[in-house]
């Protein structure tokens, strides 16, 4: 039997304020190429032997993630706070333990409410395509639905 070396520790202990031992809190995106406001990212699980990655994102009050779509899917579990999410042509209010499923090529965006942050776990493929941003025409189509227009304008849900 051969010993294998693992770079991933068996436990990353929970710390106060939705932090985990040994996990860095980083900016949401590597580049400032996409619009977003007040979002941080912690990569909780990422390993060449895993086909997926588990990340924790935190959105500050009235902040929002990038409005985007892509081939890869997301499974998101809200951990803390409250806010709203756009999934395709629907807007949902979200609270802790709600599960949000985002299918391929579905427009999506998360927004924190004005009174507190929104924190959520996000499961994705480790190898994934680049997110696409909406064109002017895409935004016109989305905004034709009043609920989506209110969501995109940051109106309280």
Catalytic residues: 122
DSSP 133: P
Give which of 94, 99, 145 is closest to 123, Cα–Cα: 99
Burial of 21-30, coded b for 16+ CB within 10 Å and e otherwise, reads eeeeeeebee
Question: Strand 52-64 vs strand 118-125: parallel, antiparallel, or unpaired?
Answer: antiparallel
Encoded tokens for 48: 């060449």
For residue 78, what are the CA distances in angstroms to 52, 82, 89? Answer: 18, 8, 20
CA–CA separation, 28 vs 138, rounded Å?
23
């Amino acid at each position: 039997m051969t010993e294998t070396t693992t770079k991933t520790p068996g436990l990353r202990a929970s710390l106060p304020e939705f932090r985990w031992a040994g996990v860095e809190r980083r900016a949401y995106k590597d580049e400032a190429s996409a619009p977003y406001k007040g979002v941080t990212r912690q990569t909780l699980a990422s390993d060449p032997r895993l086909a997926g990655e588990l990340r924790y994102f935190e959105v500050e009050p009235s902040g929002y993630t990038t409005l985007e779509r892509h081939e890869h899917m997301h499974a998101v579990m809200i951990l803390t706070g409250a806010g709203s999410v756009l999934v395709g042509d629907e807007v949902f209010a979200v609270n802790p333990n709600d599960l949000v499923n985002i299918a391929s090529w579905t427009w999506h965006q998360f927004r924190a409410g004005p009174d507190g942050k929104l924190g959520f776990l996000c499961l994705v493929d480790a190898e994934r395509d680049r997110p696409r941003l909406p064109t002017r025409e895409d935004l016109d189509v989305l905004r034709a639905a009043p609920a989506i227009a209110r969501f995109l304008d940051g109106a309280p849900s």
